[in-house]
């Protein structure tokens, strides 16, 4: 297998069964920005991982094969201008360019989608976006910012929801 310049890793996340894989775009002491690979050889949107919940980093045969296939497909790293700093500034930057985001906490099979209402103390307040493309402004659940493991944006699913939002506002 020919070596690729792409750095692809798989990350085990605390309390989750399934790992997260992706092309590493940027990294600092707190966060990792990935072009996520949810299925073999397919890139779909971006993920930002909270490093304090990463229990293992893997870069073996599977990741090298993904890198080779992406190189053969002429994949090139996208330029993403999200400064990896505080959670609040990350979410505001995502909203400014991509409009909506989703995040996951310790509950691996539960995702929350919407726009930021506010972050106060350690609580994130979200204006929730339902699967029908309508915002639920009555949804007032608070999320503990210290439990957030992964943030996604610009995925096929989120972009589909944005189309539904725009369509519902035309009515």
What are the tens digits of pLDDT across the range 89-116?
Answer: 999 999 999 999 999 999 999 999 999 9
Tokens of 99: 């409009």
How many Cβ atoms are within 10 Å of 142's Cβ, its own excluded?
14
At residue 168, the pLDDT reads: 76
* Ranges of residues in the chain whose predicted pLDDT is under 70: 1-4, 140, 169-171
At residue 142, the pLDDT reads: 85
Distance CA 149, CA 137 (A): 24
DSSP, res 89 = H
Q: How do beta strands 150-153 and 101-104 pair?
A: antiparallel
Distance CA 41, CA 163 (A): 26
Tokens of 66: 């993904």
At residue 114, the pLDDT reads: 94
Q: Which residue, among 51, 58, 15, has the nearest Cα to 37 in the 3D structure? A: 58
First to last CA, the chain: 53
* Whether this model's pTM surpasses 0.85: yes
Say what percent of the chain tops pLDDT 70: 95
Tokens of 135: 């915002």
Distance CA 48, CA 165 (A): 24
Helix (H, G, I), strand (E, B) or coil at 144: strand
At residue 43, the pLDDT reads: 97
At residue 170, the pLDDT reads: 65
Cα pseudo-dihedral 104, 163, 82, 103, rounded to 10: -10
Distance CA 103, CA 90 (A): 12
Cα pseudo-dihedral 87, 25, 13, 102, rounded to 10: 50
Tokens of 76: 């090139």
């Amino acid at each position: 297998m020919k070596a690729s310049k792409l750095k692809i890793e798989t990350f085990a996340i605390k309390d989750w069964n399934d790992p997260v894989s992706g092309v590493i775009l940027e990294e600092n002491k707190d966060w990792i920005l990935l072009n996520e690979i949810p299925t073999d050889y397919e890139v779909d949107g971006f993920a930002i991982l909270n490093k304090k919940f990463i229990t293992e980093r893997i870069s073996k045969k599977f990741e090298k094969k993904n890198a080779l296939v992406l190189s053969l497909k002429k994949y090139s790293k996208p330029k993403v201008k999200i400064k990896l700093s505080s959670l609040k500034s990350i979410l505001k930057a995502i909203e400014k360019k991509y409009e909506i985001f989703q995040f996951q906490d310790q509950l691996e099979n539960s995702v929350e989608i919407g726009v930021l209402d506010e972050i106060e103390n350690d609580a994130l307040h979200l204006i929730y976006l339902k699967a029908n493309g309508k915002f639920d402004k009555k949804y007032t659940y608070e999320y503990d910012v210290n439990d957030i493991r992964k943030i996604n944006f610009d995925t096929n699913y989120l972009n589909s929801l944005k189309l539904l939002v725009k369509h519902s506002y035309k009515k």
